[in-house]
Structure 1
Amino acid sequence: VSLNEKSSTVSSQYSKDVVCIDKDTYSVLQIFKSDPHPSVYKLHSGEKEGLSLYGILNCCRSKSGSKLLRQWFLRPTQDLAVLQRRQEVIVFFTSPRHSDILKTLQTSLRNFRNIPSLLRRMSLSNTKVTDWQSLYKTVCSALCIRDTVRNLPQSIQVFHDITEGFSDDLHNMCNLISRVVDFEASLEENRFTIKPNVDPAIDEKKRRMMGFQRTRELDNLLGDLHCDIRDMETAVMTQLQNTILESSPSLYQVLGLTAELDCLMAMSSASQEYSYTHPKLTNHREITVTQGRHPLLELCSPVYVANSFHSSESDGRIKIITGPNSSGKSIYLKQVGLIVFMALIGSDVPAKEAEIGLVDGIFTRMQSRESVSLGLSTFMIDLNQMAVALNS
């Protein structure tokens, strides 16, 4: 979006590699679909993803992976290099030989927590005991992913980036947290507690406090020792927080790489579960789909008839589809649109074979989004949808 200071007008600008898709197309194709929460108590406070393309492809194990996958859905690309980068990982994980590796990596990704929120609380010195546990589990799981990916073909760019992008800061951070934080004692006392042999002064005060008899006469002295220990452990926690915050760029880089890996493994899992095929992407103005299927309808209908589609310069790019009511014309159109969309996010597609030429936009004129607030007739709304498709 750009703002012209002289005329005070707002105009939309799209990246040259981003495929232009309007909100009507997203709605018609059911790429996203929000359903109200089934709980009465959360009816107005939260929504869940309904039957949608995003819902069936989102097999991500981490929250960062789900967020990145949604961004891919909102910004499909026609950059062939980006799509090929994603496809080579999906091809690798859809091979039955690599199913154990897929499960191992997805198990590690389950331990990833919301690190940006955790680092934000850490910068405000508002860290909880569970935050230290979450950070430690995340860092250890990231190291497991790095060690696993190191043994995979480095000719695949994503694997190479993970191998090279996980710096030694990650290993140092894991060792530092493991050496300093006493998780068992922290949970018992509900505060940050350090392990023995970290600070000799703290160890000495703890020995003095444990050596006293539990009598009323020594209560004041014990109280002073207890406060001193807490203050000193808080100082150690502050030093540890500062060390981790200094390494936060490495953590964010790790999150970005693992989120991408999570998305690609999620699409690989969906491809295996729903028997999708690997599409061939080209720069030619041609779309060929052999025995294509609607990815959502086939999950709801016990019997589904696959349909093929072909469009090219030689055979014509405009198709006229005729048939009686309820014969499946709209489903056929949506099927083609969804298959092309899935190819433009790098996913496998529901078809026997598919060759997809990259496009710069997907538009529809199938559903009228009427509203009293628009002040437009249904016919004018339909014309506006056609105008967007023709002028974009």
Structure 2
Amino acid sequence: MVDIPFMVSELTPQLTPMMKQYVEIKRSYEDCILFFRLGDFYEMFFEDALEASSILKITLTSRSRTEEDKIPMCGIPFHSSESYIQKLLDHGKKVAICEQVSDPQDSKGLVERKVIRVVTPSLTLQGEAQNYLASIVPQEETLFKTYALSYLNLATGECRATVLTSRQALRDELYRVRPKELLWPLELKDNTLLKILQKLFPNLLVNFIPSHSEGRRPEESPDNSQKSVEALFWYLKKYHYENCAHIQKVETYETGKTLQLDLSTIRNLELLTTSYTQSYEGSLLWLLDHTKTAMGKRLLKQWLLYPLLEVSKIKDRQERVEELVEKASLRDELRKLLSEILDLERVIGRLTLASGNARDLAALRNALSLLPRFNELLSEPLPEFSVLTNLLKRALVDAPPLAIKEGGMIAEGYHSELDELIRLCRDGKSTIAELEAKEKKRTGISSLKIRFNQVFGYYIDITKTHLDSIPSDYIRKQTLVNSERYITPELKDYEHKILTAEERRKKLEYEIFEGLRVQVLKELSLILEMCHRLSTLDVLCSLAEVASQNHYEKPNISQDFTIDIQEGRHPVIEKMGNTRFVPNSIRLDLEQRLLIITGPNMAGKSTVMRQVALITLMAQMGSFVPAESAQIGVVDRIFTRVGAHDNVAFGESTFMVEMKETAEILKSATSKSLILLDEIGRGTSTFDGLSIAWAVASQIHDEIRAKTLFATHYHELTALVHEKAQARNFHIAIREAEGEIVFIRKLLPGSIRRSYGVEVARLAGLPDSVIDKAKEILKNLEKGELVGGWGGARRGAHLDEASGVPRGDG
């Protein structure tokens, strides 16, 4: 480690002109790590060097004239900078790219440099992740109780906006979006909501935006989210992303017009990742994702997180999936074509932002070339862009290089001047030989030679014995003892062409590339529409493929209250399990809308409940479902209070988290909701927990009247069916054999009076001595007695029914 005596702010010794230039540029980008271009490297100095060298694990050196003037320094090769930039972004840093904008050979003194772009965790065009930039503006006219939320994906051009009416709704929507960066009003920097969001999303990079920040908005922008949207475009302009024509519009939406999924439901149903390992494999998205394009993968995720409410739209998707299920050969052909298409939305994003290369144009060319083959298969044809396709086919080589200023991109035969330059670069020596042969024939001097040196360039060397044969257009340049050296206008013209051909070729190819990019962007709107149609087709094919592979059935969707699933299966567990999955039937209707489900741990209560929710969600996104048949009455929200977890960041116990989630359900659920409650009240004493569970179930039955699955180990709760007309008891069946239990995993009417906790503990591997002692204690507890030696209570002590603690006989 280099000993660094000072940082930029403490700098007192005089700096070199270049370092003064660095410091001046750095002042404008104090919140960024500045990549300062020096030749073939990006260099970092001062605090940036200390921070970057630590994160990137690269050598820290120093730049100085004396030991006292050490300036910390580190650097990376510019041609391999992307991986280093990504690592800094992963650590929540911003990177300002400062390039040399004047030619060092033409510059007198210091080379001009300026920042051409800033890369942030959300403003990056690399990789496949959805890096959202979000903006939140609490709305003053509602006393900051409603919130304008907008967000965009710079790489793909997606931009959406909505207004949320509560903190909980805002939190849930942010969890669905999962932005990498957040823009927040500077004047509300100390707002308590911001502090809550920072705890909920600890990796979120927050930027404070001044109130005067106004940016260009697309023409189609929502008035009620105007300030939020303008903040997004102000931020883009600040960091040199002004030409964002691929962001064509701001899509406005209302969360209440799609099936709403809160943070707990997304997590508990394992829609995006598994709860235990946070892995993608094992999630519902993993199961459904048989897409062939990155565009399709993104759209599938959106369909999963925003299922539909309108029956007509759901049925439209179903019918399109059904056609692809029934026509397997058509599906196979379409998926084969889709597999050849790269991420066109990102391609267009890069080309629009002038960050693309010839490979992006080639990717577009290859995709457009497939459109006629798609149209042979589709009833609704795609636009074919025949003129643009032919232009790109003629202009580009088959496999262009990555660099756009080194030549090799443009095919021969496209541009006559370029063809000559390519020929000169490739055939320069043979061209000179041809000219030499031509001059020999013209002059009759067989010993004539065309030679080259660094002083004169190309020249004609003629021995003095042939001086009488020199043509009049020869210009003498030098006289030697035995020969004379001449030039001709034609030779100098060839010389100029040959010596400058490579540079002129590179420059001309870049100009042609830019011209092609402009031609592509003239078709921007139609190309983006084509991208959307291809991604939709990809998602439909994916859902059809999953349905075909796993023997799913088309559900019947209606506005009725009823959910009736016959022989339903959990889509993920049946796929990943090593044994045959046991299907179950379940019906929720106006006569039985609250099901009290009892049964041992591990018997399958949670699985049954989750599969009902997953089948409902899949049906409303337009998918087929894992069941023999399913009648699904559309639900407006799915609530899940499943599993046990605390919230250390907020100092909340498992029981407090459970109660808060339950309170939110009671506050937000409607009669059209689907509610899953698993073991409410288990985090406190038995009687407290039972009382809470009973009261919650009663509230849902009497007031909310939602379709509800309520799993419990409080067997006393099964008596609720005697008080509530639409409550029913169900249980997960088990079989006892020689002191052991066998899980049947079948949902049957009626209740079960035991939880078989001791038997399950034996299956989990508790020592026999512990199991035997537990059985003894259980028998005494069931008699209302305690075993001696427990908590100092004497034999024969009884449980106080009010407190659940031992009391004496007297």
Which one is further off, 140-149 or 323-332? 140-149
Counterpart of 1:127, as a letter, is G
Superposition pairs for residues 130-145 of structure 1, below 5 Å?
Answer: 130-145=359-374
Between 321-330 and 8-17, the greater mean CA deviation after superposition: 8-17
Other structure's SS at 2:363 match: helix
Amino acid at match of 2:145: T
In the alignment, is the contact (CA less than 8 A) between 1:83 and 1:346 conserved in 2?
A: yes
| 1:320 counterpart SS class | strand
CA distance in 2, matches of 1:360, 1:368: 25
Residue in structure 2 matched with residue 86 of structure 1 by the alignment: 317
1:177 equivalent in alignment to 2:392:
yes
Change (3 A) 1:384 1:142: farther
Q: Does structure 1 residue 311 correspond to structure 2 residue 611?
A: no
Structure 2 distance, partners of 1:184, 1:325, is 59
Q: Is residue 286 of structure 2 the alignment partner of residue 66 of structure 1?
A: no
- Partners of 2:353 and 2:535 lie apart in 1 by 26
Write the distance in 1 (CA, Å) between the matches of 2:417 and 2:407.
19
What corresponds to 1:340 in structure 2? 616
Counterpart position of 2:260: 20
Greater Cα shift, 276-285 or 378-387: 378-387
Paired position in structure 1 for 2:720:
none
The question of whether the paired residues in 2 share the 8 Å contact of 1:80 and 1:281 is answered with yes
CA 1:280–1:376: 2 relative to 1, 3 Å: same
8 Å Cα contact 1:108/1:141 also seen in 2: yes
Matched-pair identity in %: 24
User: Match of 1:128?
Assistant: 357
1:89 alignment partner AA: R
> CA offsets, 1:45-85, max 9 Å, x none?
xx861201110100000001000111111111111122112
Counterpart residue number, 1:329? 605
Equivalent residue number for residue 42 of structure 1 = none
Shift of 1:184: 5.4
**Alignment-derived partner of residue 543 in structure 2:** 267
Which fold has the larger relative contact order, with Cα–Cα distance below 8 Å and residues 6 or more apart in sequence?
Answer: 1
Cα deviations by residue, 1:289-345 (Å, 9 ceiling, x for unpaired): 1111111221214122111011111x3211111223322111111111111111111
Q: Is the 8 A contact 1:292 1:352 kept in 2?
A: yes
Residues paired across the two proteins, number? 366
Q: State the secondary structure of the residue aligned to 2:340.
A: coil
2: CA distance, partners of 1:118 / 1:337: 37
Which of 497, 501, 508 aligns to 1:232? It is 508
Asked if the contact 1:21–1:362 (Cα under 8 Å) also holds between the matched residues in 2, the reply is yes
1:144 Cα deviation (Å)? 2.4
**CA-CA distance at 1:175 after TM superposition:** 1.0
The within-5 A match list for 1:135-214 is 135-150=364-379, 160=380, 163=381, 166-168=382-384, 170-183=385-398, 191-207=407-423, 210=427, 211-213=430-432
> 1:98-117 to 2 correspondence within 5 Å?
98-117=327-346
Partner of 1:157: none
1:24 and 1:367 in contact (8 A); partners too: no
CA deviation map 1:115-163 (0-9, x unaligned)? 233233323444333223212222223442233214xxxxxxxxx3xx2
Give the AA of the match of 1:133: A
Which amino acid in the other structure matches residue 265 of structure 2? T
- C-alpha distance in structure 2 between counterparts of 1:174 and 1:36, whole Å: 49
Contact kept in structure 2, 1:109 and 1:141, CA below 8 Å: no
Contact 2:359/2:400, CA 8 A, preserved across alignment: no
- Cα pair 2:421 2:497 within 8 Å, conserved: no
Which of 33, 55, 61 in structure 1 is aligned with 2:273?
33
What is the alpha-carbon distance in structure 2 between the residues aligned to residue 182 and residue 253 of structure 1? Answer: 27
5+ residue gaps, structure 1: 38-46, 151-159
The question of whether the paired residues in 1 share the 8 Å contact of 2:357 and 2:403 is answered with no
Change in CA separation of 1:5 and 1:188 when aligned onto 2, cut-off 3 Å: closer
TM-score by length of 2: 0.43
C-alpha displacement of 1:381: 1.4
Deviation at 1:232, TM superposition (A): 2.5
Q: CA distance change for structure 1 residues 200 and 93 in 2, over 3 Å: closer, same or farther?
A: same
Q: What letter is aligned with 2:579?
A: P
Aligned partners of 1:243, 1:87: CA distance in 2, in Å?
Answer: 38
Deviation at 1:258, TM superposition (A): 0.7
Aligned partner of residue 377 in structure 2, secondary structure? helix
Which deviates the most, 121-130 or 255-264?
Answer: 121-130
Instruction: Report the 3-state secondary structure (helix = DSSP H, G, I; strand = E; otherwise coil) of the residue aligned with 1:296.
Output: helix
Q: Is contact 1:192-1:234 (8 Å) kept?
A: no
Judged with a 3 Å threshold, the aligned counterparts in structure 2 of structure 1 residues 278 and 184 are, in CA distance, closer, same or farther, namely: closer
**RMSD of the alignment, in Å?**
2.7
Q: How does 1:277-292 map to 2 (within 5 A)?
A: 277-292=553-568
C-alpha contact 2:362 2:399 (8 A) present in aligned 1: no
Residue pair 2:397, 2:411 contacting (<8 A) in 1 also: yes
Larger Rg: 2
Residues 127/375 of structure 1: CA separation in 2 closer, same or farther (3 Å cut) = closer
Identify the residue that residue 9 of structure 1 maps to in structure 2: 145
Q: 1:154 maps to what in 2?
A: none
**Mapped contact 2:647–2:654 kept (Cα < 8 A):** no
For 1:156, the equivalent position in structure 2 comes to none
How far apart, CA to CA, are the structure 2 residues paired with 1:196 and 1:35? 56
Alignment of 1:33-52 (within 5 A): 33=273, 49-52=280-283
Q: Bigger CA drift: 227-236 or 343-352?
A: 227-236
Q: Which amino acid aligns with 1:390?
A: L
The 8 Å contact of residues 300 and 539 in structure 2, kept in 1 or not, is answered as: yes
C-alpha separation between the residues in 2 aligned to 1:36 and 1:388? 24
> Are 2:294 and 2:343, in contact at CA under 8 Å, matched by a contact in 1?
yes
1:55 corresponds in structure 2 to 286
Displacement of 1:2 in angstroms is: 7.0
Work out the CA distance in 1 between the residues paired with 2:612 and 2:667: 22
Please tell me the residue identity of whatever aligns with 2:623.
Answer: S
Deviation at 1:197, TM superposition (A): 3.6
CA positional deviation for 1:33 = 0.8
CA distance in 1, matches of 2:272, 2:556: 25
Normalised by the length of structure 1, the TM-score is 0.85
Structure 2 vs 1, CA of residues 374 and 176 (structure 1 numbering), >3 Å: closer, same or farther? same
Shift of 1:372: 1.4
List alignment gaps of at least 5 residues for structure 2: 1-135, 148-163, 166-253, 434-450, 459-494, 669-810
Q: Tell which deviates more after alignment, 187-196 or 223-232.
A: 187-196
> Contact (CA 8 Å) 2:283, 2:572: kept in 1 or not?
yes
Q: Which amino acid aligns with 2:431?
A: F
The structure with more strand, counted as a fraction of residues: 2
- Contact 2:561–2:589 (CA under 8 A) maintained in structure 1: yes
CA contact (8 A) 1:143 1:171 kept: no
